[in-house]
Structure 1
Amino acid sequence: MSFRLAGFRPAVVNAVALILALSAGVALAQNTKGQTAPTPATTAAAKPAAASTAAAPAASAAAAGDNDMASAKPGDATAGQAKAAACGACHGMDGNSTDPQYPKLAGQHEMYIAHQLHNFKSGSRQNPIMLGMATPLSDQDMHDIGAYFASKRSLPGVADQALVDRGQKLYREGDPARGIPACMACHGMDGRGNPGAMYPQLTSQHAQYVEAKLKDFHDGVSWGNEPHAQIMPAIAKQLDPQDIAALASYIEGLHVADNNASVAASP
């Protein structure tokens, strides 16, 4: 896979319809549970920390949002299924997207999904389509959607055999001489991630999506101002295009072959 991104025209054309569908799905799920409609987003994305006069209010707003996220109840997968109906257009109804420009969400950790939806809504992670999708969601909606996708299983992918050796070495050993740590130190031997530390699941993720995100990180894109969000840009900066392609392919083929702990990177 190269650094090019697949065209976004289909997503843009359907963005308004998806947002309306999401709003309807959320309202339906909330009416079923006797809840009130979610409150709309209150502010646009804050400017980077370079503008110190704006940074303090943005930091306060982000901290308040994080506190709300922490106070939300654990997600309800049953409620989340209705709320996630619009997500299926891009990510698949069970979280296994068929278009590799959109990430698989099946098996991803609830808190990680909820946190990223919060980032999209606040603007700390920039994506115009996801901004529109996340804006109507309450923190509880985000947790419910996260719980639904976390209950699903990601379908295994396939790695390019020609790239496996390089990808495997970087994933499992890193390259200390270039300041590249092993990916598995945070994301686990089998790519399942670490929900407590909010390191996402990577296993079986589309190579095209992984490569695009690693390139973004390499170019300095971050998903927020918190220290946790600065980890990947610092690491990816040390990767060259061949490293990124090999890692992305290896991650797509990374999966647990059975119910035991054995790991496979499929050819």
Structure 2
Amino acid sequence: MGFTIEPADTQEIQPLREQYRREMDCQIIHDSLHARPGWTASFLIKSASRAIGYGSVAKGGPWSEMPAVFEFFLRPDFRLEAFEIFRAFLDECRATRMEVQSNDQLITVMLHTFARDITSEKILFRDHQTTTLVRPGAAVRKTEPGDIGMFESLGFDARADWVLDFDGRLAGAGGVLYHYNPPYGDVFMAIAESFRRRGLGSLLVQELKRVCREGGHVPAARCRTDNIASRRTLQRAGFVPCGHILTGRLCPA
């Protein structure tokens, strides 16, 4: 089979990206990179002038010094040539690394075939169960202007629009980010050091999941692979692990 690989803009690969999103059927961690000007370089893969796939490289922000392949999609009837096409894509895009999510089967196979020094940076979680956790003395409410001044000293994210009070004191903060592929929302939160190991983190995650669902979205989450406390917190709130963010160094042809 003959094929060509050529630079493309986001609009040119959009129909294939929609097919990719449907096939993934989960939160796509790097989905929003395409909307950031100058952050990605994409390539359209064609056979006999027909678009059969695409590949994308992150090259802005944290990837500016080490461009990384983060998406690779082929129409199912062209995957018999997947290894050859991916090798040609690598020759064209000049990336030095890969950063993929393991629940994307095709690109994960490519990662383990063409990359070395593969490590897991984060664990991905999907919603599995609605919990009914209760903690006497704890209450979750919307962030108020007076709360924000304490966020930095407590280690809270400035984007948090919900807080958790415990016995009248500010104990945690979090929110849901919606700039991923619809309908997913990414739950994030933090608990102040002096209030940890009391079950407050799981309670806050539970309530953020509720807010997410009430807005018509599907909750998702992630944490660092080595963060055992966060893993337990997310699982107690009804999340289950569903994948990893994997990185690897690409080898010369």
Give the TM-score band, short-chain normalised: under 0.3
Instruction: Tell me the TM-score normalized by structure 2.
Output: 0.26
Q: Which structure has the highest helix share of the two? A: 1
Q: Relative to total residues, which structure has the larger strand share, 1 or 2?
A: 2
